[in-house]
Amino acid sequence: MRRHEPGSETTMTMVHEDGEEGQGSVAPDDELLRDTEIMSQPASSARADLINAKVADRYEVIERIGGGGFGDVYKALDTKIMSRPVVLKVLKDDILKKEGATRDWVLTKFRQEIEALSRIHDPGVVGIFDADTLPDGRPCIVMEFVEGYDLRRFIKTARERPGSGQGMNLQDVAEIVKQIGRTLTAAHDENIIHRDLKPENIMLRRSASGDLQVKVIDFGIAKVRNSLVAPSTATGHFMPGTWLYMA
């Protein structure tokens, strides 16, 4: 499970009516638009209603492994396919209780994440297996479970390893950059812009042969052009993203 690091929060650049931009504190409604990464530190107030539940008469929920502003993420077992581990991402129920543009925006982006994962065909993107709706109306996505660590932890581990010198070796750095570039190119070819690329949203693992395998995760706030879900999700009031990594 990944540890939440300072600076990883997804925030918004506010655009005021006079056209000026400013970085402010996260207001209650803005909190809904924060990070949706798959493996962040669980919040103490997280609901446990799905633990040990069976979703869609198929996915047996084991534990909550993370979440963000508008989604909770669980590890589950697919009982129809040899109990393989999967990730279950569920929209938070308090989103459905809200009214107005924020709720509509979040629901649309949740559906567009399904669309984005379905459109991108690249080994560096987590696979999507299923999409459903819980009995209480919350939509959910079933995705590939990714073993490994995020890039921030990978860098930290490399620095702390005895005899590692100054951290990651150049061969690993080059391989990571190459795979991220390939995956983003595949996404851009499908007119999908991630918009929240940061160390916490890059997962790495080593294969049995020692090769690095990179996955770009969390397309929760991606810009999806030519979307079948909605023509546009622009609001004119905020720009979602993590401000330390926005360009």
- Whether 9 contacts 190, CB under 8 Å: no
Provide the edge-to-edge strand list for the sheet that holds 238-241. 21-22, 11-15, 238-241
Q: Helix H segments across the chain?
A: 93-97, 101-119, 151-160, 170-189
| Catalytic site includes residue 196 | yes
The burial of 128, by beta-carbon neighbours within 10 Å (0-12 exposed, 13-18 middle, 19 or more buried), is given as buried
Contact partners, residue 118, CB within 8 Å, separation at least 6: 128
Rounded Cα gap, residues 116 and 48, in angstroms: 28
Segment 181-190 long-range contacts (CB within 8 Å, at least 24 positions apart): 182/122, 182/124, 183/120, 183/122, 183/124, 183/125, 183/214, 183/216, 184/216, 186/120, 186/121, 186/122, 186/124, 186/125, 187/116, 187/120, 187/122, 187/125, 187/216, 187/222, 190/116, 190/119, 190/120
Per the residue annotation, which of 35, 72, 150, 196 is the catalytic one?
Answer: 196
Scan for tokens 């819980």, then name that residue: 134
Q: Which residues are catalytic?
A: 196
